[in-house]
Amino acid sequence: MMELNYNLDIKQEQQLVMTPKLQQAIELLQLSSLELKDYIDDEMMENPLLELEDDYNSSGTDYTNYTTDQEEINYENFVAKKMTLDEYLRQQLKLVVTDSCEEEIGEQIIGNLDQSGFFNDADRLATELEVAISEIERILEKIKRFDPVGIATSGMEEALVVQLEELESNRNRQEIELAKEIVSEHLKEVSKNQIRKIAKSLKIKPIRAQQLIDLIKTLDPVPANKFEKVVTDNSYIEPDIIVKKVNDRYVTILNDFSFPTLRISKYYKRLLAKNKSKDGLQGYMEEKLESALWLVKSIEQRRRTVYNIVQELIDVQHEFLEKGLRYLKPLTMKEVADRIEMHQSTVSRATSNKYIQTPYGLFPMKFLFSGSIDTKNGQVSAVSVKQQLQEVVANEDPSKPLSDQKISQQLAERGIDISRRTVAKYRKELKIPSSRMRKRYN
């Protein structure tokens, strides 16, 4: 017969309880500057006690007399709107059409371009608009010469041909015809850098074929992409942190947009102090005050955490700040976490989605953490190895590009002893083509 026993055991153990406030603090730590702005905007909408320090009015405005009935300026009216490709083409269309029928045909062509900017619906459009296919093709030929040149063509090949034809007035006609023949017959060989094969087919010297291919590579096979590049030329990543040298030492500057300062509204603090009753308003205000104080504290903690990490990075990576990428030292997040007495996960979250401006460029913060590679001269960072690999390739003879084995040998002469396979791996990560693809005929 089985005997059942019941025992009561007491044991002590530690557990991390993720409270909503702790979750909020962790979430704030890893937000990008734009995400943080959205988060703060939402919180300020929900909590009237919160305000940004930049919004502070030192003249002591009386908020009780403030009214929203005043006429407000819509500043969005003064912001330049980003033009779409569709709008840009329609503007050009108005300059070349002679009547409403041509304009409608042109607008239909523009409205039926695919994502790459190509058009292949002439027959369908002619049927829908009940016009001759020749009318569609006549307007289409005009649009193909719009900016970006090659828009509304049937595909990459025709886009390149149209762009070459536009160059004909400034270049030798025979040169353009040979380039068009390469586009029409040898694009596959161009992608494989088979210069000799193309030269033999065209009965020209390899150096001449190389020049023609260089010309073709200045063109854009996807016209819509060219427009996007022009439109986004003014866009840039704003650094969250700037490391700048001042009087022989490096200082950390935190961007106010990325690290805003929140505070409790003085108006509502006075209101809370005046209202000592235990009514619903008092309870509501006290609840919002507690929530606001926690958010202010969390934002400030985020600022201090990132600042401490950057200060440690400056200390460890001083040689990189002085001399460049080649001198970036191996560094793990655990090493930084141990130095500033934080958990590794905290360092990881704090460096996520943030960019740091250094004397040698703008980098994601995580870029400054690099794995180590054992060499004859001790450990070096993977970033440093990649930088030197790029230098070796940049200094090679283009007519006799180095194989991965020879790159490995040249790196060994610099004290970096890595295998051919590692060279190939890093070369691919750096998007450096193979030696066969790098070969040029100059």
pLDDT digits (tens, 9 = 90+) for 318-375: 999 999 988 999 999 999 999 999 999 999 999 998 999 999 888 999 999 988 887 7
Q: What is the pLDDT of residue 229?
A: 58
In the chain, which residues fall in CATH 1.10.10.1330?
85-230
In angstroms, the first-to-last Cα distance of the chain is 96
- Does 233 score more than 60 pLDDT? no
Q: Would you place residue 123 in the very low, low, confident or very high pLDDT band (cuts 50, 70, 90)?
A: very high
The Cα 100–Cα 396 span in angstroms is 59
More confident residue, 436 or 283: 436
Q: Tell me the average pLDDT of the chain.
A: 84
Per the omega criterion (within 30 degrees of 0), is the bond before 206 cis?
no
Looking at CATH, the fold of the domain delimited by 85-230 is given as: Arc Repressor Mutant, subunit A (1.10.10)
Q: What is the pLDDT of residue 199?
A: 93
The Cα 310–Cα 317 span in angstroms is 10
Q: What is the pLDDT of residue 63?
A: 31
Give pairs for 193-198: CB < 8 Å, separation 24+.
Answer: 193/433, 193/436, 193/437, 193/438, 193/439, 195/439, 195/440, 195/441
Q: What is the pLDDT of residue 238?
A: 85
Q: Percent of the chain having pLDDT more than 70?
A: 85
> Has domain 372-438 been given CATH number 1.10.10.60?
yes
Of the given ranges (19-28, 151-160, 370-379), which has the lowest mean pLDDT?
A: 19-28
Q: 309 and 349 in contact (C-beta within 8 Å)?
A: no
In the chain, which residues fall in CATH 1.10.10.60?
372-438
Could you read off the pLDDT of 24-36 as tens digits, one per residue?
777 888 888 888 9
Q: What is the pLDDT of residue 138?
A: 93
